[in-house]
Structure 1
Amino acid sequence: MASFDGCPEVFHALLGERDQVIELAVTDIRGAVLLCTRLRPTVEIDPQAMGVHGITETELSNEPTWTQVAPALARLLSGRHLVIFNSSFDSRMLRQTASAFGDQLSWWQEQNCLCAMKLAADAFGSTNRHGTISLADATCEAGVSWKGRAHSAATDAIATADLVTEIAKVQRDLVVQLQELQSKGNLE
């Protein structure tokens, strides 16, 4: 599991081509945090974005840069299949951040990413005009309890892990029910 921003769709529209990841977290499927760090960007943080995540430039002044964090992130994620809420957005933000530091991000394999937002929209239906669902709406639909402050990378990554686990449970239950119906001859 990985979350690199965890912000709502309206926030995603705010972030332009120069914006960068300022906080990232990676968990395993059980929600155990494997990596959580803030990053010092090379650009100013948009004030509206700051209003969403609450992280100020002053708070980031002594944090590591992408160059310092990327090797550990690459070791952790390389060759693994990842589940990311809104994976196309987070992938774009990773590429932008890496590019700002002259990193080609050669280890990043977007094809190994499964989008939890798409899974959730398939499971619970879309809740917006984009045909997607927010992490907040998806976790609500799945009955997932938040374990921290929303819009922090670790909390959002944990929520994503819990969400995917709940979707998998529902899927397993549906398969069992379908098999029972088929075995009773109630379904052809």
Structure 2
Amino acid sequence: MTHTAPTAADVIDRFLDWATDPRLVTLDTETTGFDGEVIELGLVDGGGRTLFEERFRPTCPIDPRAQAVHGITDADLAACPRFGERWPDIRDLLTGRRVVIYNKRFDLPRICATLDATRPGWFEAPGGAAGGSADLRAFNAISRSAECVMDAYSPLAGSWNDAYGSYRWARLADASAQRGVDVSDLTKHAAVSDCVQVLRLIQACAALNPADFPWIGHEDRL
């Protein structure tokens, strides 16, 4: 089967589709570390309204390198609930929504690992029935349908990697700067602020002109 490379119009149309979808929700997390647990989660809908914003007490200490990025300390989380306690509300907010994430390869595994740590046996069905628990089925459905804004944006950034035959990913800060996204009222590396930043990036990309990206669809010339 022959696959046609996406055009610039195709790429921008995806952002337009997100920007106009009433089911849209952006998700972002802060964690104890690259392989750690979720300690803050934000959800923002397509209208910019905060659906969820909360911090969580992890079962492991925060890596100093992660703390240097987001500024959250173990002491800040001492009185917070475990992520597993709030998972039912998070799950229900995400179910049936169109979930978009800037780098879903990071956030979704961290959510899964945090459920393992804070909601033991969450994936098991009563009596060991096949197919796992309702929680597991819901998480799998959310994971399968979630879309990655970082992947979608990479052709617009225009940095081609010959070694991998694909566009390089852009950091959210760099993508926002390229598209002139206003972040002056946002807090860097705070979950809800990052959700709003992703939403603004989506909206900015939805208004782009395909003619300004002549390299997309002509990657053999890069």
So what's the TM-score if we normalise by structure 2? 0.69
Cα distance, 1:126 vs structure 2: 4.2
Q: Deviations over 1:58-85 (max 9, x none)?
A: 0000111112210110110012221100
Does residue 1:117 correspond to 2:150, yes or no?
Answer: yes
> What is the correspondence of 1:93-112 to structure 2 with a 5 Å cutoff?
93-101=110-118, 102=120, 103-104=122-123, 105-106=135-136, 107-108=138-139, 109-112=142-145
Q: Is the 8 A contact 1:39 1:60 kept in 2?
A: yes
Match of 1:4 among 29, 40, 45: 29
Cα distance, 1:29 vs structure 2: 1.6
Deviates more, 1:142-151 or 1:126-135: 126-135
Residue 82 of structure 1 aligns to a residue whose secondary structure is strand
Match of 1:151 among 169, 176, 189: 189
Residues 158, 2 of structure 1: CA spacing in aligned structure 2 closer, same or farther, 3 A cutoff? same
Q: Is the 8 A contact 1:30 1:162 kept in 2?
A: no
Q: Distance in 1 between matches of 2:58 and 2:94?
A: 21
Q: Is the 8 A contact 1:39 1:66 kept in 2?
A: yes
Q: Is the 8 A contact 1:21 1:41 kept in 2?
A: yes
Q: Which has the higher helix share?
A: 1
Q: Distance in 1 between matches of 2:56 and 2:175?
A: 27
Q: Deviations over 1:6-34 (max 9, x none)?
A: x9xxx9xx612xx1011010001232211
Q: Distance in 1 between matches of 2:51 and 2:160?
A: 31
Q: Distance in 2 between matches of 1:87 and 1:28?
A: 17
Residue 148 of structure 1 aligns to a residue whose secondary structure is coil
Alignment coverage as a number of residue pairs: 165
Does residue 1:174 correspond to 2:210, yes or no?
Answer: yes
Let me know the Cα RMSD of the aligned residues.
2.3
Amino acid paired to 2:152: L
Residue 92 of structure 1 aligns to a residue whose secondary structure is helix
Gaps of 5+ in 1: 176-188
Identity of aligned pairs, percent? 30
Residue 35 of structure 1 aligns to a residue whose secondary structure is strand
Cα distance, 1:127 vs structure 2: 8.9
Gaps of 5+ in 2: 1-25, 124-134, 212-222
Residue 45 of structure 1 aligns to a residue whose secondary structure is coil
> What is the correspondence of 1:1-188 to structure 2 with a 5 Å cutoff?
1-5=26-30, 15-16=34-35, 19-101=36-118, 102=120, 103-104=122-123, 105-106=135-136, 107-108=138-139, 109-126=142-159, 131-146=168-183, 147-170=185-208, 173-174=209-210
Q: Which has the higher strand share?
A: 2
Q: Distance in 2 between matches of 1:122 and 1:30?
A: 26
